[in-house]
Amino acid sequence: MNKFFHWGGALLLAGLLTPINSQANVVITGTRVIYNQSDREVTVKMDNVGQEPALVQVWADRGAAKSSPTKADAPFLITPPIFRIDPSKGQSIRLIFSGADLPRDRESVFWLNMLDIPPAPSKGQQNYLQMAIQTRIKIFYRPSKLPGSPDEAAEKLNWHIISQGNEQFLRVQNSTPYHVSINFAAIEVNGQEYRTDSGMVPPLGSIDLKIKDLKTKPASSSSIKFESINDYGGPIILKAAPLL
């Protein structure tokens, strides 16, 4: 799940800046949306855990981090697209697949965006900074009758150590039709652990994860451990043997 500040029309600046709280008041239940081809619609719940009402706008895109509601290009109808949530209240939105020529032999990934717009300051308040906070989570569109299962996909990854100059990478190959999200991977070399950044391995594809602080390709390695994320957003620790 990604969060960043939206500096559009919701940004108001007057006089001196005062300390701000960048925590979103509206939160999405779950860290990902699974949309099966057989689903007529999928419901996503949002809750206002703050102490003020919030105006919320939602849309879906194909992966552009700086997308906006006017440039929403994902094949989903979302209703309601904009709404108010009072403090300690919730709101459910519905995602309906609007139809698109998507691959049938693998998952497709999109992004659900939620813009949390705080209320305007009270009258008489002169020094303030108002920001809208945007939250993004993945939508996985899953065709029917894909072989295997998402839970098995992480276990079937193949790992290779690749050198590029004095930098070392773990090349992760995915032979399954499911996306595999990796929080981190770690390789043990001579009793020391070296970690990588996070990444998502596409179905029937691969990614390279840079191994931090490892300058030379090891002659041998004991094992790799990595943390993947399941359909429910839960972390799973797995082990694998790399191919040098």
pTM of the model: 0.86
Confidence of residue 215 (pLDDT cuts 50, 70, 90): confident
Q: Among candidates 27, 28, 29, 25, which has minimal Cα distance to 51?
A: 25
End-to-end CA distance of the chain: 32
**Phi and psi at residue 70, to the nearest 5°:** -75, -15
The predicted structure's pLDDT at residue 19: 40
Write the pLDDT tens digit of every residue in 138-197.
999 999 999 999 999 999 999 999 999 889 999 999 999 999 999 999 998 888 899 999
The predicted structure's pLDDT at residue 16: 33
The predicted structure's pLDDT at residue 210: 95
Domains defined along the chain, listed by start: 2-142 (2.60.40.10), 150-240 (2.60.40.10)
Euclidean distance between CA atoms 23 and 99, whole angstroms = 35
The predicted structure's pLDDT at residue 23: 64
The larger pLDDT score, comparing residue 124 to residue 106, is at 106
Q: Among candidates 135, 134, 136, 132, which has minimal Cα distance to 117?
A: 132
Euclidean distance between CA atoms 207 and 215, whole angstroms = 19
Handedness of CA 40, 96, 103, 1 (dihedral sign): negative
The predicted structure's pLDDT at residue 46: 97
76-84 CB contacts, 8 Å cutoff, 24+ apart: 76/35, 76/110, 76/139, 78/112, 81/57, 82/55, 82/56, 82/57, 82/58, 83/55, 83/56, 84/53, 84/54, 84/55, 84/56
CB burial of residue 145 (10 Å; 0-12, 13-18, 19+):
exposed
Average pLDDT over residues 208-212: 95
CB burial of residue 244 (10 Å; 0-12, 13-18, 19+):
exposed
Has residue 220 got a pLDDT over 80? no
The predicted structure's pLDDT at residue 29: 94
Write the pLDDT tens digit of every residue in 79-110.
999 999 999 999 999 999 999 999 999 999 99
| Percent of the chain at pLDDT exceeding 90 | 69
Write the pLDDT tens digit of every residue in 13-25.
333 333 444 567 8
Contacts of 57 (CB under 8 A, 6+ apart): 69, 81, 82, 114, 115, 117
Average pLDDT over residues 226-230: 96
Per the prediction, the chain carries an average pLDDT of 87
The predicted structure's pLDDT at residue 122: 66
The predicted structure's pLDDT at residue 119: 79
Euclidean distance between CA atoms 11 and 115, whole angstroms = 13
The predicted structure's pLDDT at residue 4: 53
Euclidean distance between CA atoms 109 and 63, whole angstroms = 8
- % helix, strand, coil for the chain, step of 5: 5, 50, 45
The predicted structure's pLDDT at residue 17: 35
Euclidean distance between CA atoms 98 and 88, whole angstroms = 32
